[in-house]
Every structure is written in C-alpha cells, then in structure tokens.
Amino acid sequence: MTFYDKFLIISLVIISVIFIISPLANILVEGNNLDDQVIIIQAGDGSRQKIPLADTYREEPVIIKVAGPIGVSIIEAHNGRVRLKEAPPEDPEKICEKTGWIDRVGPMIICVPNQISIWIEAKESELDGVSW
C-alpha cells in the first residue's frame, strides 16, 4: 500500500459518504416528494390539463369542468383519486361516470361521446428497479 493508495481509498470513501448523506439530508429537510404522480385530463381537441396528485389532498375536492362536443363534464379529484363526477345529460351511456374512482397508474376513464380521457401518470419511469 502506497501513499497514493491510501489517498485514493480515503477520498473515495469520503466522496461516497458525502453523496449518500446529501440526498438523505435533502429528504429530511424538504420532506419526501416521491409522490410525484399527475392526473392528466385530455379533451377532444387534444389539450391537456395536468394536476399533481399531491395537490388533491385537501378538504375540498378539486373540481374541473371540461367542455366537450356534447356538453360539460365535471371531474372531481380528491385525496389522491380522480373520477368523472357528472357527465352531460346528453351522454347516452354515462360509462365514464360508472367507471368510478381511479387512484393509480394504469386504469383510465374514457368518455367517448364527450371525447375526454383521464388517467394518472408517473413523472418518472414506471420501472422502479432492475435486478442483476
């Protein structure tokens, strides 16, 4: 073991410890913001509204009105879930209303007559790990 060996080893240890501690300290200071999913509401003209799921944890539900070809749909987001609360009366089947709440990545609320789709998307890749 030469002097440079020891220098290399000690500096590697120090650097890695710093990089381990600094993100942890960040989490302690700023709180865990891993909950970074967004609700995406897409209207018939392709325009999108994004609402962070974290913003729906309030006493009052978030109400969004989206106008489509047959009327105005009322969308409600509350406590980390979202539903299409009220389809316009012209909607014959009201399938989107019957879909109910969705609270995770995967399911989707689709309203064909009013051309609205609602889903939850993760900001980061959905893969959370690979083992090797």
Write down the least CB distance from residue 15 to other proteins, Å. 7
Q: Find the part of the chain contacting other proteins (CB under 8 A) among 61-69, 75-83, 107-115, 119-127.
A: 119-127
Q: Should residue 127 be labelled a site residue for other proteins when binding is judged by CB under 8 A?
A: yes
User: Least distance from C-beta 107 to other proteins, angstroms?
Assistant: 23
In terms of phi and psi (left: phi > 0; alpha: psi -120 to 50; beta: otherwise), the region of 110 is: beta
Binding mask 22-51 for other proteins (x = CB under 8 A): -x----------------------------
DSSP tag of 127: -
How far is the first Cα of the chain from the last one, in angstroms, to the nearest whole number?
32
Residue 19 contacts other proteins per CB under 8 A: yes
The DSSP code sequence of 7-51 is: HHHHHHHHHHHHHHHHHHHHHHHH------EEEEEE-TTS-EEEE
Cβ neighbours around 43 below 10 Å, total: 18
Of the pair 1, 89, the CB lying nearest other proteins is at: 1
Q: State the residues that interact with other proteins by CB under 8 A.
A: 1-2, 4-5, 8-9, 12-13, 15-20, 23, 124-125, 127-132
